[in-house]
Structure 1
Amino acid sequence: MTGAQEPTQSARRAVIDLRSDTVTKPTAKMLQAMMSAEVGDDVWGDDPTVNALQDFAARLFGMEAGLFCPSGTMTNQIAIKVHTQPGDELLCADNAHIYLYEGGGIAFNSGVQPKLLPSNRGRITADQVVQAINMEDSHFPTTRLVCLENTANKGGGAYYSLDEIKAIAEVCRARGLRLHLDGARVFNAFVAAGYGPSDIGPLFDSISVCLSKGLGCPVGSVLLGPKDFIRRAHRIRKVLGGGMRQAGFLAAAGLYALRNNIERLRDDHARARRLGAALEGLPYVSFLAPVDTNIVIFSVAPGWDAKVLVEWFKARGVLLSTMAPGVLRLVTHLDVDDQDVDGVCEMLREAATAAAMCQEVEVAATTTTTTTTNGNGDCARLGDVVEAEAAEE
């Protein structure tokens, strides 16, 4: 581990929230930085702390300028709007966040058509980009923009190698395409892959950097790019309602995070690997995705009910999220420590044996002892256990 974990607002949590790294709360030191921030009116460009954050992030990535916004969805959508014209086409992975989880914003905000490329855990290749570019013909939309996501949420935290990014950037430059990065968890990629912000900054035309996931901020994302791009982005931010007044209180959290919370992401990755190891071989796990960073995704085996599994953990103070029918996700973050992971690993193993409880349960409504089995003659559905425990209560 990288050192002692700074205490969060609650010394010992009653609930261990593994639904997402967006649930993090500011630490005491981050709160102190926020409360002591010097502020002004950012819509006028007069907030010194916002300006400092934008400049710091831009220098970190070797880019010209930055724009602080309320969310990563907004920074992504602003970038798409600035880079394209209605009727254009962008290329992205078939499970990209900008396509699946941003409310149809590509079409709604920009009138742009996405072309979805089959991905390897959320990653696409330079060859795929070459093959997907439309010919110059009035029958086809103009291919204008390529969007990458690093790390990939639906890919279970998979990340691009630096060579993969360079190859895609080379294609984009040669073919006159713009290249945008959804860097919602880009610092996780840096820590895992070994490259850094200044290595990728020059390769992209714009980068969205989220501050409110693994970095632990309550709010915020920074959009980075050339000065003229950011000038145009500033207007779109206003149109979308993203202009904030004394936003320095929030920007101060971002500055603190960028200066203090990057290296500690290694701890999140180590804890995620421990959770993944605990899941290996359990009877309710049919597939476990590789654990590359801080996201653990697994498929629930036939005969087990994913929704009931989530409720079983919730009743014991552990929150998981559902990625798709029968697919669950655990995400480690700033508010999860080694002691939490110890408890969750034990609980993961306990869930595998808990079904034995339903072989003989006393149902509150009757005095009859019942035996519940699955098709194999085993009591293998955790739902039986949940129902039994509810009856006992």
Structure 2
Amino acid sequence: MPQRAATIVGGGIGGLAAAVALHRRGWHVEVLERAPAFTEIGAGISLWPNALHALEALGLAGEVRARGAVEAGGGVRDRQGRWLSRTDNAELTRRFGHPLVVLHRADLLRALTEALPADSLRSGSEVYAVRDDGQGLVVDHRGGESRPELIVGADGLRSVVRRTVWPEAAGPRYAGYTAWRMITESLAEPPAEGAAIWGRGERFGYTALPGGRMYCFATASLPAGGASGSSASEYAELVRRFGSWPDPVPALLAAVPVDAVLRHDLYDLPPLASFACGRVALLGDAAHAMTPNLGQGACQALEDAVTLAHCLDGAPDVAAALRSYDRLRRPRTRAITRRSARLGTVGQLSWPPAVLLRDTAARLMPTRATLRSMTPVLGWTAPGAPSAATKSESH
């Protein structure tokens, strides 16, 4: 029996995870990546327990945890630096089976690429279109064309696969705020806990990376398209906006290299009618791009990849398997996309009475209630695995 073949468009986290999951089930995979190399620059990533369960299904959870950092805890602070809510990583692990792990995106991509045959990774392979020529599926790309049994569109917010196979789908919508991301140099005394500080129409967050470095991010409610294109200019803007914020923000900014600031406007996708069309499936940002307020973008892409491979495992009818994948993934990711958007709206409040009400409500919310509210998001496990939520609501 000939080996089944899949072409995965996009070599980010979701695409590579799907390739690993299919490869380990005996599929021949090729990953077409537009960029000249399989890597990411300048940013950290938070992997919540549900993402670690997905990586566990790929056989990579231990390796990824070894490359990352686990903080004792974190939470949300107000503009004066007072804690509004706290999160205990030990309690996360007890409830959901894994802690929150933070690492550099490039380290996660490295773990995924090392789990694949080198000849399956095709960088510099921009995809122009996906079509059916009457004899089968065709992927037109810089290197020629591919004729796989399965196509997976994992090519991000402005997906070529989505645009050509779902031409009527609505495009990305601006969330109303922009984001800066940066990594500090190694600090002699890094903060013991991470936090997100909520201001008025602005936020600043930080969390630990290995080696004494910190991953920092900031947001501000601004019109789209205002990025200067200069890291030095964006750094100056960060210092202007956040340089007088509570400790440790000034020290963190002082430890950020001036040429290492990334700025991107934030978008999400309106809901799609389906993540599957025949033998073509979408996953990750191509299917359900969301704002980063819950830290779930990459986590959901990893869930997608594991679920997709599970649905295809032993299934003779690829189109039917993809319909099952769609039924499992679309309702969940739609709910999380909405929840992330709502949290972003709350975090970006700027009217002083609304900010006061928000901060007071957050301060009065018991920690256990906050964790329980996250169970629908963090309690996911790979299909067929036992539930990750180890305690009932009564605990």
> TM-score, normalization: structure 2?
0.24
> TM-score, normalization: structure 1?
0.24
Give the number of the structure whose residues are more often helix, by fraction. 1
